[in-house]
Structure 1
């Protein structure tokens, strides 16, 4: 039986690295779940419902980003 050489945390990091243009910032590692399920020799990466919608993720970030800025930036 084939076994992966890497654990789930490495697969999560690789999944985040594959996202284009810094899109990984909208997805935390807790949201990205790398599944070790193989189907026809393909790795399937599962993402939960919330983080799979980039519009929702970016809207949440844009609404809340002001609170993380220093006072002189706001």
Structure 2
């Protein structure tokens, strides 16, 4: 099996007073994810940029590692 790294941007918004995840974008490169983060930050309560490594063929993924955050976010699992 081969291992890959993905960079994900998770947006969060408030609905009914509660903070909830809204949109997630997956990127192959960190600089692309940072650009996506800036776009989502303009219309969200918060965004989180994190890295995850795993084996896509087996579906085994490690725990996400937070790289950067802006605004309000929930704990990543």
Identify, as 1 or 2, the structure richer in helix: 1
Q: Which has the larger radius of gyration?
A: 1
Q: Is this a same-fold pair by TM over 0.5?
A: no
